[in-house]
């Protein structure tokens, strides 16, 4: 089991993100995925704040962001907001 785990970790570490999303390094890809996840799950305001923070950090470091997050991706996502509202209105399973 340990050998399988070590082998999987080694394979993951050897994989280049360049094939996943050309033009983004690993850090930028992760930030893009976080922003997309937040929007998809209905956390539009959190996504806007996250994008603003990333942009602010990049500006403070004097870097131009390779992150392809755009404000339009986080604006007016009514579907995402509706999904979030619906998820709060659906009762979950009773606590265990």
pLDDT digits (tens, 9 = 90+) for 45-78: 898 899 889 888 888 888 765 555 555 555 556 6
Are the beta carbons of 81 and 41 closer than 8 angstroms?
no
What gap in Å lies between CA 83 and CA 64, rounded to an integer?
A: 33
**Residue 68 gets which letter from DSSP?**
-
Of the candidates 75, 70, 64, the residue with the CA atom closest to the CA atom of residue 51: 70
> How many residues in total does the chain contain?
96
pLDDT bucket at 89, cuts 50 / 70 / 90: low
pTM for the full predicted model: 0.61
pLDDT for the residue 25: 83
pLDDT digits (tens, 9 = 90+) for 10-51: 998 888 888 887 888 888 888 888 988 998 888 888 988 998
pLDDT for the residue 20: 80
Mean pLDDT, the chain, integer = 78
pLDDT for the residue 28: 85
Domains of the chain: which residue ranges?
17-73
The residue whose two tokens read 């709060």 is 88
């Amino acid at each position: 089991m340990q050998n399988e785990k070590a082998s999987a970790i080694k394979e993951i570490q050897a994989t280049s993100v360049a094939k996943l999303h050309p033009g983004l390094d690993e850090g930028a890809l992760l930030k893009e995925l976080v922003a997309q996840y937040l929007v998809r799950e209905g956390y539009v305001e959190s996504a806007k704040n996250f994008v603003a923070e990333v942009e602010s950090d990049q500006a403070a470091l004097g870097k131009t962001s390779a992150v392809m997050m755009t404000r339009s991706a986080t604006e007016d996502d009514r579907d995402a907001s509706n999904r979030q509202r619906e998820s709060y209105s659906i009762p979950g399973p009773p606590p265990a």
